[in-house]
Structure 1
Amino acid sequence: PRPLPRAGAGEAARGGEAARGGAGDVGPAGAGEPAGAGGPEEEDDPEVEGDPLALRLESLILGADRRYTPFQAARSAGVSMDLAARFWRAMGFADIGQAKALTEADVLALRRLAGLVEAGLLSEPMAVQVARSTGQTTARLAEWQIDSFLEGLTELPEPGMTRTEVTYPLVELLLPELEEFLVYVWRRQLAAATGRVVQAQDDAEMVDRRLAVGFADLVGFTRLTRRLEEEELGELVEAFETTAADLVAAHGGRLIKTLGDEVLFAADDAGVAAEIGLRLIETLGRDETMPELRVGIAFGTVTTRMGDVFGTTVNLASRLTSIAPKDAVLVDGALAVELMRSGEAPESEAEAAAAEKEGEEPVEYRFALQPMWQRPVRGLGVVEPWLLGRRGT
């Protein structure tokens, strides 16, 4: 394995003044522009304070040193302070007053977002939404990555080194590889999402789409939190989320989000969602370390925003999950009808059994549906759940 240099050793390798961001350097904003009239005014800037290693790490990751106050960054980018602050908060960053804490990369980001608005490609609210969705998604990713990489470093490369010292060279080695991989995955996901959108039957369906939405919920999780140690609980949640995410992806669904003891997934096809629900029950049921699982799935119109799903169909799926028996899948009437319409479940188990008894060629159904008692569901009126199973089991 490639040896880890001590913290700071990589700075020289990145090249003298370019690495230190001297006054005449051009940061990653590119454009070959010096600070000039729109740049920082050194004599009026608040003092830059902070942990030296944290500042070196920030410079390494961002590719530039701190040079601008928020006012100077907004002026250099040619946007109002109000819009710059809205973008900054939307990305999930705290207000910093007028501390000199921004870089050329921040200026470039402001220019790009403002340029999309000026060109008419995005409205101002949409640009803010782009900033917010990107910030929320990448914040969790960044936290997970740095925690995981440092936790995994159980054996320090050299005697006497601390984790603090290891952080800089570790990030220095991982940064370019992770950046390229992130862009690759994002492009793949963007291609998949674009493909789904262009297959929509009409413009309205691009926003309000008909999807199958499912929740999978661990039974008795609250009791587990009182019984298990924090590390054990964390391992259980990670195992549940990993298994669920893999199953959802492998069978053609999309993991919308994880909520510790619960996952939310969606699929364009009712049969895909049904298969995912049953696979979750079957797979986790074989794991003796896992609690029982309940799954609820509903089919209908769903509003999508910032990668999340909303609406009555989502609420119904959540309610079905809360009333589902342990290690079972409950679906709503709309999803049951879709399975029958597509020939994946019989309209009547009795009629299917009678046809087979009379010698008719049996139909290969994937799923079995058993109607349950109608019941009132808070906020949704009376619903008729169906118990989903595999045919012949």
Structure 2
Amino acid sequence: MAITRALGQTMARLADWEVGALTHRVDEMHHAGPAPGDRVDTALRMLDDLSDGFEALMVYVWRRHLAAAVSRIMALDPDDDLNTTELTVGFADIVSFTALSNDLSRQRIGDLVELFESRCADVVAGQRGRVIKSIGDSVLFVNDDPIRAYDTAEGIINVIGRDSRMPDVRLGLATGGVVMRLGDVFGPPVNMAARLTAVARRNRIIVDAAMASLLPPDQFETRRLPARPVRGFGLVEPVAVRRH
């Protein structure tokens, strides 16, 4: 039942994503000049033309991700809980997204979120991490290497926060034991990373003490910030980090 539910939810989102991408392309084609038939006919023809190749691609990608997931499980200690592992969790969050969305058209908001998600995904993949999910104006990712997780956060700032056409971002990172279930992750590091994004300044990275302790002092400079109340954790001393 759990796999059936996950399959339905994943395929529903994939179908919406596919149709949304195609309709966007159809609009571009019709704005560029006369096209045979109406927009619905054009979109249906494109779906029909792509279906066979897309189905083969979908199965191929699923098999590759299945092999990667099995490899991650096999790398764990067999005496440990196979659903729990040590990871660094990161949250990337668009600054002032609510106010921003009130000033932008619906089309512009959609384009902005899509560009934000795609750029984050590229950076995460480049550092051998995984995007767990996108939550509107935020992206949740994980990496089993805290240094690569920091490089991911720095990379996201470089491709989004440093781009004058994009909004500023904030990054929160936390390390610890997380529970992996149905493609999602749970546990204190996930909650801590999310809370730290509210503490971080624009285009800055804030980490928890556990992650800071794993960063080599010859490569990184860490600075404890004043303690402040963090919902669900009491008083917390976040740590600002930068490379030497």
Do residues 201 (structure 1) and 74 (structure 2) align?
A: no
**Residue 102 of structure 1: aligned partner:** none
State the 1:257 CA deviation.
0.7
Is contact 1:278–1:389 with CA below 8 Å preserved after alignment?
no
Q: CA RMSD in A?
A: 1.7
Do residues 147 (structure 1) and 46 (structure 2) align?
A: no
**Residue 107 of structure 2: aligned partner:** 231
Do residues 247 (structure 1) and 123 (structure 2) align?
A: yes
Q: Equivalent of 2:45, from 146, 162, 169?
A: 169
**Residue 242 of structure 2: aligned partner:** 389
**Residue 169 of structure 2: aligned partner:** 293
- 1:118-157 deviations in whole A, cap 9, x for unaligned? xxxxxxxxxx000011111111111110121132023369
Using a 3 Å threshold, how does the CA distance of structure 1 residues 328 and 129 change in structure 2: closer, same or farther? same
**Residue 349 of structure 1: aligned partner:** none
Distance in 2 (alpha carbons) for counterparts of 1:293 and 1:132:
33
- 1:317-344 deviations in whole A, cap 9, x for unaligned? 11111111111101001111122xxxxx
**Residue 133 of structure 1: aligned partner:** 6
Using a 3 Å threshold, how does the CA distance of structure 1 residues 211 and 205 change in structure 2: closer, same or farther? farther
Q: 1:300 is matched by which residue type in structure 2?
A: G
Using a 3 Å threshold, how does the CA distance of structure 1 residues 285 and 197 change in structure 2: closer, same or farther? same
Distance in 2 (alpha carbons) for counterparts of 1:328 and 1:247:
16
Residues 41-60 of structure 1: pairs in structure 2 closer than 5 A: none
Q: 1:218 is matched by which residue type in structure 2?
A: I
Q: 2:233 is matched by which residue type in structure 1?
A: L
Q: 1:155 is matched by which residue type in structure 2?
A: M
Q: 1:381 is matched by which residue type in structure 2?
A: G
Distance in 1 (alpha carbons) for counterparts of 2:168 and 2:35:
46
Q: Which protein has the larger Cα radius of gyration, Structure 1 or Structure 2?
A: 1
Is contact 2:223–2:239 with CA below 8 Å preserved after alignment?
yes
State the 1:158 CA deviation.
7.7
Do residues 256 (structure 1) and 140 (structure 2) align?
A: no
Q: Equivalent of 1:265, from 141, 164, 169?
A: 141
**Residue 155 of structure 2: aligned partner:** 279
State the 1:278 CA deviation.
1.4
Show structure 2 runs of 5+ residues with no match.
Answer: none
**Residue 199 of structure 2: aligned partner:** 323
State the 1:211 CA deviation.
0.7
Q: How many residues align?
A: 241
Runs of 4+ in 1 over 6 A off after TM superposition: none
Q: 1:331 is matched by which residue type in structure 2?
A: V
What is the TM-score when the length of structure 1 is the normalising length? 0.59
**Residue 379 of structure 1: aligned partner:** 232
Higher strand residue share: 2
Distance in 2 (alpha carbons) for counterparts of 1:371 and 1:202:
37
Q: 1:374 is matched by which residue type in structure 2?
A: A
Distance in 1 (alpha carbons) for counterparts of 2:35 and 2:195:
55
Is contact 2:127–2:152 with CA below 8 Å preserved after alignment?
yes
Distance in 1 (alpha carbons) for counterparts of 2:70 and 2:118:
25
Distance in 2 (alpha carbons) for counterparts of 1:211 and 1:331:
13
What is the TM-score when the length of structure 2 is the normalising length? 0.93
Distance in 2 (alpha carbons) for counterparts of 1:149 and 1:185:
20
Which of the pair has the greater relative contact order for Cα pairs under 8 Å at 6+ separation?
2
Q: 2:29 is matched by which residue type in structure 1?
A: E
Using a 3 Å threshold, how does the CA distance of structure 1 residues 197 and 166 change in structure 2: closer, same or farther? same
- 1:40-70 deviations in whole A, cap 9, x for unaligned? xxxxxxxxxxxxxxxxxxxxxxxxxxxxxxx
State the identity as a percent: 41
Do residues 367 (structure 1) and 220 (structure 2) align?
A: yes
Secondary structure of the corresponding residue to residue 291 of structure 1: coil
Distance in 2 (alpha carbons) for counterparts of 1:385 and 1:211:
18
